[in-house]
Amino acid sequence: MTGSWLQRQAQLHPERPAFYWQNKSWSFAALQAEVNQYTAYYHPKLEEASRVAIFSENQPEMVFTILALWELGIEVQCLNTRLTNKELVFQLQDADCRFVITDKRLDLANVQLLPFGKTAAASFEVAERQVYQPNQIASIMYTSGTTGKPKGVPQTFGNHQASAQATQQNLTISVNDCWLCAVPLYHISGLSIVLRMLQLGISMRLYDRFDPQDMATDLSNSQGTVVSLVSKMLRDLLPFVPQAGFPALRYILLGGGPIDRGLLAQCQQKQLAVIQSYGMTETCSQVVALPPDKAIAKRGASGIPLKNVQLQIVDTTHSSGVGREATCTVGEIYLKGPAIVSSYLNDRGNEQWDHQGWFATGDLGYLDEEGYLYVVSRSSELIISGGENIYPAEVEQALQQHPAIVEAAVVGQDNPQWGQEAVAFVVLNQSVTKQALLDSLEDTIAHYKFPRRFFQMDTLPRTASGKVIKRRLLSEERVNEIE
């Protein structure tokens, strides 16, 4: 059967529930009809476009628009709504994207803004459009690396399909499942749920934001069987969870960093099956997951590779290149598989793939004797705060624009509410207040990347080669805090 994944589901299972929003619902046939109207609206406006960005919070119009663009064979660039204007301009220019669909007021040069919309259409067909091809780019999301310079991640339909199928096998997903989505659709954690709906024929329930009480009410009423959360969301949900858990909830897929022991114990007391996972934008969601029944025996583990995912630990202290290392040797985590993208946009940072196709994640970890992965640290020193990625190099570069700062080093420290928070250590050439430093970051980086605390130092600890020893900063006595 030809056509898009949505068309296939609408033809094979027209009455099956597909999409829920508040008190509204769409079957696959109704969803196809709705998307047809959005496709008819966008088609004449985007005839020459091959890539279009969307800037929006979670709402049905965003889902309908994503699906309409895919029906038109157009790549979707996902823009994080928390970014500054400067950050947005860079991503759009780097991706050579000249159209942004949004319901917000934006001031972006050389970009045409389009509102969400639809046109009444009983049917709509676009002739000679290649859609949902395995090597065709479906979505582009930006991520940063050790340099702090964002890189576009082109995720193909083949990548998304492999991810959905691996998730289906791992969680024994069936057509009776309904996946709750309160995470942003502009993140891979959210968009992957849309792809699972299309590929696996399940339903999804979308929320405009995460409200623990509202979600608990829906779960108590058996309105969902699987939900994606980060640790902060899970912690906020727990007070509303009945002692016996929720009747229909099968799994909580947890991303955005590891779960602490106390939180895991509370989940087990309330009969919540938590799937701890490991993945990133470049892997189109989870590629490693820990079964709930192993949560205690394998405390601290991220899990085992999913279907068709290859994983190896590379001892980066040797120069012999990629090779499988001994069990429990700590090294860089390398991944290979159909869900993992094969390059960055504009060939930036492609040294992360070797000639055999292995992807160097930048994370350090080891495998135990049973093949379970334990992530030790991010060699890129990534900070994960409330599910959002913060790259220290990006924050350091922004801080060093302030005339009072000679040097800056940013590290993550534990935070009971957000998981981690950014903390800055700075060498100054003149006195400065914390507020002045924060003010200098306005319009440069998003607020969630702002350091929460600043400490003045005479010098930063360095190796013989001059690299800042950030682990020393983590153990430094916190004195000389800038107020």
Section 257-267 average pLDDT: 77
pLDDT at 347: 87
Poorest-confidence range of 15-19, 49-53, 236-240, 312-316? Answer: 312-316
Task: Of 145, 152, 196, 207, give the one whose Cα is nearest residue 174.
Answer: 196
pLDDT of residue 128: 65
Mean pLDDT is lowest, of 205-209, 462-466, 472-476, for: 462-466
Please tell me the predicted confidence (pLDDT) of residue 475. 67
For 193-217, the pLDDT digits (tens) are 999 999 999 999 999 999 999 999 9
Question: What pLDDT does residue 1 have?
Answer: 39
Sign of the dihedral defined by the CA atoms of residues 21, 25, 28, 29, in that order: negative
pLDDT value at residue 392? 81
- Comparing 432 with 129, which gets the higher pLDDT? 432
- CA 284, CA 217: separation in Å to the nearest integer? 30
pLDDT of 305 over the 90 cut = yes
Q: What was the pLDDT predicted at 319? A: 31
What is the per-residue pLDDT for 231?
80
Arithmetic mean of pLDDT, 312-333: 59
How is 181-240 classified by DSSP, letter by letter? E-S-TTSHHHHHHHHHHHHH--EEEE-SS--HHHHHHHHHTT--SEEEEEHHHHHHHGGG
pLDDT digits (tens, 9 = 90+) for 106-146: 989 889 999 999 998 767 776 667 899 999 999 999 986 54
**Torsional class of 416: left (φ above 0), alpha (ψ -120 to 50), beta (otherwise):** alpha
For residues 81 and 79, what is the distance between their CA atoms, to the nearest angstrom? 6
Which residue segments constitute the domains of the chain, with CATH numbers given? 5-375 (3.40.50.12780), 383-475 (3.30.300.30)
